[in-house]
Chain A
Amino acid sequence: MNMLGSILYDTVYHSAPIILCVIGGIFAYKANVLNIALEGMMLIGAFVSTLTAYFTHSILLGVLFAVIASSLFGLVFSFFGVTCKGNVIITGLAINLLASAIAGFILIQMKTSNITLSYLNVADLQIKIPFIKDIPLLGKIISGHPIITYISFLGIFLMWLLMYKTKFGIYVRVVGENEDAAKSIGLKTDFYKYAAVMIGAVCCGLAGADLSTERLGLFTNSMTAGRGFIAIAAIYCGSGSPVKSALFAILFGLARSLSVNLSIYAGPASGLFDIIPYIMMVCVLTFVSVLKYKNSKLRGFKYE
C-alpha cells in the first residue's frame, strides 16, 4: 500500500514538467512548426530560475525570469525558424546546444559546477491541500506537490479550451493544416506561428523552474535529461491532441516513477532501471504507429 502510494505520488511528480512541455509543444506542432527546442528552453528556464533565486532569494522572481529567458529563446527560435525560414529542426538543435553552452559558460564564470539554493527547504514549497490530504491514499497522492505541478495538470484543460474552443486555437490549427488557405483569408500566418512557439516557450520556462528550483532547489547542467524530447514523443503518440498527449506524458511519468521506486530493491542492477522510460517511449511510439497505419492503404511516408 505504501509502495503503491509512493509510486503514484512520484508519477504525478515526474509527469508535471513533461506535461508542461507537451501542452507547450502541442501548439507549435499544430501550427506545423516542429519545436524540438523544448529541451533547451526548459534547460534555460531551469538555469535562470535557480540563478535568479540564488541571487535574489526570491522564488517568485526566479520563476518570472525563467519564463522571460525561455521566451527570449522562443523569440530567437521563431525568428530563425519562421521569419528567416530556416530549417526548424536545425534551429531547435542549435537552441538546445546553446542553452547548455550558456549555462555551462556562466557556471564556469561563477566557478561552480552546480547552483544549490541552501536557504531553501523544498518541503516548504509543497502545498498541503486541506481536507483532501486526510483522505487515505488519495490524499497522499494528490496533496503535497509544489504549485507548478498543479498548474501543469490544470494546464491540460486550459490548453484544450484554448485549442478547440477559441478563435485563436482554430486559426493556429488552420495555419498548420493549410497555410495557403490561412493566407487567403487574410490571417497573419507568421503571427500565429510566433504565438504558438511563444506559448511553448512560456510553458517550458515553467517546466524548467519546476524541475530545478521548485523541486530540488538545485541546478546541474544537463539536468533535463531528454525530457523535452520525451515530450515530443508524447505529442507524436497522442497525434497532437492535448488530452491524449498529456496521458502519454503521464505514462512516461509512471515509467520514471517505477524506475525510481523499483531501483531501491534492485541493488547493483538499479542503474539499468533508468532506461525503462526511454525504451518504453520507443515501444509506445511503435505501437501507436502500427495502430494508426494498420488500415491505411497509402503508400510511402506521406502522413507521418
Chain B
Amino acid sequence: MKLKSKAVGLANSVLPVLLAFIIGGIIMIAIGENPFETYGILLGKSLLTTKGFLTTLHYASPLILTGLAIAITFKANIFNMGVEGQMLLGAFFSGIVGAYIPLQMNSILAKIICLTVGVLCGAIFAMVPAILKAYFKVNEMVVTLMLNYAVIKVLEFLATGVFRDLSSGYVSTPTIQQNAMFSRLGSSRITAFFFIAIAAYVVMYFVMNKSKLGYETTAIGKNLDFAEATGMRVHRKILILMAISGALSGLAGAGYMMSDQFKFSLSFSGNPGLGWDGMLIALLGAHSPTGVLIAAVFYAALKTGADNINLYSTVPKEIVTVIQGLIILFLAVKFLHEHTPMTEKLKTFFSKIKISKNREAQ
C-alpha cells in the first residue's frame, strides 16, 4: 500500500514534467527546430558526462537550499514567497563582509563568518512577515512579495551607491577576499558548498521526517484549526518555520556568492531567480526533502543544459523558462489521487468510451 502511494506520488511529479516537455517540443517544432536533438543537448551534456554532472551538482547546491526553504513553509501551508528576497539579502551582506575581512584571517574562520552573516540576514528578514502573520494575522504571501520588491530596490541602491566597486565596469560590489572563496575541487566546478548543502539536506530530512517539529508542521499544513485545538503553539511554530526558511535562503545566497559569483551584481540571481526556482523544486519534490534533492539536481541540469542549448543549437534558451512555467502549471493539479484505484479508473474510462461508441453506432 505504501509502495503504491509512493508510485502515485512519483507519477504526479513525472507526468507534469513530461507534459511540459511535450508542449515545449511542439513550440520548438513551430519555430522550425528539432525537439529531440534539443532535448538531447539539454539533458545529455549536463547529466551524462562526468564533468557536466559535477557542474550540475555545483549549480544544484543553492537550489537544494532554496527548495528546502520553500518546502518547509509550504508544507505548513505558509506561503513564504520571500525566499528570493531573503536569499538576496543574505548574499549581499555575506558578500560585503567577505570583501572587507582582513586577508590574513584564517580561511575557515572567514568562510564561517560570511556564511553566518548570510544565514542571520535571511533569518532576521524572514522574521518580519512571520511576526506580522503570527501576531497580527497579516497575510504572509502578500507581505513577503511586497518585501521582495522592496529589498531588491534597497540592494540596487546600495550596490550602485555606497558599496559600488568603482574599478568594475558595471554595477557590482567589490569581489570577496580570497580566503572567503570556496575553492574548486580538482578540475570540476564543484566546491565544498555542495557538501554544506547536502549536510543541510540531511539535517532537514531528520527535522521534517523524524522530529516533533516535522510532525507538527504536517499537522498545521493539513488542518490549522485542529493543530491549534490540540494545543500546539501555532504562533510560535510559524515563527520557527519562517526562521528556518529564512536561514536556509540566506545560506543559499551566501554560498552561491562564495562559490560562484564572488560579488553582488544586479543579475546575481539570474532570471527568474534562485528563490523562484526553489519554488518549482519544492513543488516538484512534493515538499519532501529527498524529493527536493532530486528535483534540484534535475532542475540544475535543465539550467546548465539551457546554456548548452544556446551554444550548440539555434533554439533560444528562454524556451527553458517557458517549460519551467508549464511544469509549475501542471504541478498545480494532482493528476492521480493517492487513493484512486488505477485499474478501476481505467475500466470506467474504457467503459465510457464504449458507451459513447455505442451511442454513435446507434
Interface residues of A (CB under 8 A from B): 36, 76, 80-81, 84-91, 93-95, 97-98, 100-102, 104-105, 108-109, 225-226, 229-230, 232-233, 236, 268-269, 271-272, 274-275, 278-279, 281-282, 285-286, 289-290, 293, 299-302, 304
Q: Is B79 an interface residue (CB 8 A)?
A: yes
What 6 additional pairs, Cβ within 8 angstroms, besides A84-B333, A89-B141, A271-B156? A98-B326, A105-B319, A105-B321, A225-B149, A285-B143, A286-B138
Residues of A within 8 A of B224 (CB): 300-301
Which residues on the B side are within 8 Å of A233 (C-beta)? 142, 146
Tell me whether A108 and B316 are in contact (CB under 8 A): yes
Number of contacting residues on B, CB 8 A?
45
B149 adjacent to A80 (CB under 8 Å): no
Partner of A271, one of B149, B153, B316: B153
Return the contact of A226 from the options B149, B319, B328 (Cβ within 8 A). Answer: B149
Q: Which residues of B contact A274 (CB under 8 A)?
A: 153
Question: What A residues does B272 contact at CB under 8 A?
Answer: 97, 100-101
| Complex contact B225–A290 (CB within 8 A) | no
User: Given A268-B161, A271-B161, A286-B136, do A91 and B332 touch, yes or no (CB 8 Å)?
Assistant: yes
Q: Which A residues lie within 8 Å of B148 (CB)?
A: 226
A271 in contact with B157 (CB, 8 Å)? yes
> Which residues in B have their C-beta under 8 angstroms from that of A302?
225
Residue B54 interfacial (CB < 8 Å): no
Interface pair A272/B153, CB less than 8 Å apart: yes
A304 with B276, Cβ < 8 A, contacts A271-B160, A282-B143, A285-B142 known: no
B146 & A101 in contact (Cβ 8 Å cutoff): no
Which chain B residues lie closer than 8 Å to A268 at the CB level? Answer: 161
Within 8 A of A (CB), among B106-152: 132, 136-139, 141-143, 145-150
A interface SS class? helix
One digit per residue, 1 when the CB lies within 8 angstroms of any chain A CB and 0 when it does not, for chain B 322-353 equals 10111011011110000000000000000000
A281: nearest chain-B partner, CB-CB: B146
| Chain A residues within an 8 Å CB radius of B31 | 109
B137, A293: Cβ atoms under 8 Å? Answer: yes
Asked if A300 and B136 make an inter-chain contact with CB atoms under 8 angstroms apart, the answer reads no
Chain A to chain B contacts (Cβ below 8 Å), 17 pairs: A85-B333, A94-B325, A94-B326, A94-B328, A97-B324, A108-B316, A232-B142, A269-B161, A272-B157, A278-B149, A281-B142, A282-B132, A285-B132, A285-B138, A289-B136, A301-B137, A304-B137
Q: Given contacts A98-B322, A108-B318, A272-B153, are A86 and B334 in contact (CB under 8 A)? A: yes
Chain B residues near A (Cβ < 8 Å): 31, 79, 132, 136-139, 141-143, 145-150, 153-154, 156-157, 160-161, 224-225, 228, 234, 271-272, 276, 279, 283, 316, 318-319, 321-322, 324-326, 328-329, 331-334
A120 to B236 Cα, complex, angstroms? 56
Inter-subunit contact A236/B142 (CB<8 Å): yes
Q: How many A-B residue pairs have CB under 8 A?
A: 137
Chain B hits for A105, CB < 8 A:
316, 318-319, 321-322
Q: Are B139 and A236 in contact (CB under 8 A)?
A: yes
Residues of B contacting A293 in the complex (Cβ-Cβ under 8 angstroms): 136-137
Contacts known (A102-B322, A229-B142, A289-B138); A80 close to B332, Cβ less than 8 A: yes
Check A226–B132 contact: CB distance below 8 A.
no
Given A101-B324, A226-B149, A229-B145: A300 in contact with B329 (beta carbons within 8 A): no
On chain A, the residues within 8 Å of B329 by CB distance are: 76, 80, 91, 94-95, 98
Kindly state the separation between the CA atoms of A5 and B137 in the bound complex, as whole angstroms: 38
Bound complex: CA of A59 vs CA of B20, how far in Å?
34
Smallest CB separation, B78 vs chain A (Å): 10
In the assembled complex, the Cα of A229 lies from the Cα of B318 at a distance in Å of: 24
Give Cα A265–Cα B41 distance, bound, in whole angstroms: 53
Provide the residues of chain B in CB contact with A299, threshold 8 Å.
Answer: 228
Known: A80-B332, A229-B146, A282-B146. A97 touches B139 (CB 8 A): no
Q: Is the CB of B331 within 8 A of A90?
A: yes
- Measured between beta carbons, the chain B residues less than 8 angstroms from A278 are 146-147, 149-150, 153
Is B332 in contact with A87, judged by CB distance below 8 angstroms? yes
Most interface-central of B157, B160, B271 (chain A CB within 10 A):
B157
- For the complex, what is the distance from the CA of A272 to the CA of B139, rounded to whole Å? 25
